[in-house]
Structures are given as structure tokens and as C-alpha cells.
Amino acid sequence: MNIFRFAGDMTHLASVLVLLLKIHTIKSCAGISLKTQELYALVFATRYLDLFTDYISLYNTLMKLIFLGSSFSIVWYIRYHKIVRRSYDKDQDTFRHYFLVLPCLLLALLINEKFTFREVMWTFSLYLEAVAILPQLVLLQRTRNIDNLTGQYVFLLGAYRALYILNWIYRYFTEPHYVHWITWISGLVQTLLYADFFYYYFQSWKNNVKLELPA
Amino acid sequence: SQSKFPKDEL
């Protein structure tokens, strides 16, 4: 464990907590894409298959449980909670996220480090996570006034993977034979998808104006 | 070898 990865995990945790805070306290999911949340639930479900078979550390197991629990409960809240679901804008959240799942699965079957079920599922989760934010970014462009919590959520979600990139660079230079091209390229693509969001988020913070993405 | 389980990163 290095400071970059720990900071990344904490940033990821913070993004989840911000979202749970928003949904649980003000009982609203305005501006939040259910599709991105469903994709993330699938990402964690396919990435943490070794949750019960391999024990790495208490930290590792705890964080996996938090990410799995939070992502599935957020999907439940938006789909079934009688108050929260009313604020879900299904007419705007129209990204065909199923069109993301299949290509990622096919790609994972073609390009992976080892052709085993667990390895292919793990690779699938990496590819899917790289594109999981797309429905949310599309929804943000359609949502005129983005509330602070939603903006913070997306920012933290993007920042965590950027910190992971620093972690991979650090591990590459400090650990012999630490080479994971699939992880690195997926993480880089994922972070680059946030590039324009980061730009507008920074501009709104610098000029102290409401965050708005150009249509 | 490159790929190994369990993966130590989240």
C-alpha cells in the first residue's frame, strides 16, 4: 500500500459517501444517473468475486464490502425507494448502458492476462468501469443546474482513478516486474473521460459560479 | 507471471 493508492481509496470512499449522503438525507437523486450506478454495481460484483475465497487484509475486505453494499443500495434507493425514485429523471437518463456491457465483455474475452473465468470477469470489470461514467456525464450535460453534491460526487469519482494512476507509476518504479498494461490503459481511458468535466468543474470553482457543462 | 489472484488492489 502506498499513499497514492490509499488516497485513491479514500477519495473513492468519499464519492460513495457523498452520494449516499445526498440520497439518504435529502431523499433526492436529482441529476444522478441510475444507469451509471447499475454499471458500477456490476463492476464491483465482477471485480470482487474473490471476496470470500481470498483474504488479503481487513482493509481490503472491508472496503470491498463497503463498495458492494453502497453501490447496490444506491441502485435500490433510486429504483424502489418511494420518495427517492420520484426525483429520478428517467426521461433524461437515456444512455443505452447495455451497449457498454457487451463490448466490454467481448473485449475481456479477447484481451486478458489469463483466460480463466475469474481473470476474464476481473478484466471485464476494468473495462466496464472505464466507461461506466458515460451515462452520468451525458445526464450532467442535459441537467441544466448541477447541484453541488452531484458535482462533488462526479469529481471525487474521477479523482480516485487519477490517484490510482499515480499509484501505478509509483509501483512500477518501486516493484520489480510490476507491469499491468490492461489495468493501466483502462484506468487512463477512464480518467481521460473526465477531462472536460474536470476542466468545467475547476472553472466553476475558480470563478465561483454554478457548475454547468456545455450541451 | 503477470496475472495473479488475489488482486491486492480494489
pLDDT digits (tens, 9 = 90+) for A110-143: 999 999 999 999 999 999 999 999 999 999 999 8
ipTM of this complex: 0.84
State how far residue B1 is from chain A, nearest Cα, in angstroms: 9
Q: Is residue A15 part of a domain?
A: yes
Contact A64 B10 (CB under 8 A): yes
Mean pLDDT of all residues belonging to chain A: 96
Domain count along chain A: 1
Q: How far are the Cα atoms of A52, A108, A128, A132, A189 from residue A186, in angstroms, in the given order?
A: 26, 11, 9, 12, 5
| Residues in chain B closer than 8 A to A167 (CB atoms) | 9
C-alpha closest to that of A191 among A168, A214, A215: A168
Residues of B in contact with A64 (CB under 8 A): 10
For residue A27, give its domain range. 3-204
> Which residues in B lie closer than 8 A to residue A53 (C-beta atoms)?
6
pLDDT in tens, A54-106: 999 999 999 999 999 999 999 999 999 999 999 999 999 999 999 999 999 99
Instruction: Find the residue in B nearest to A49 (Cα).
Output: B6
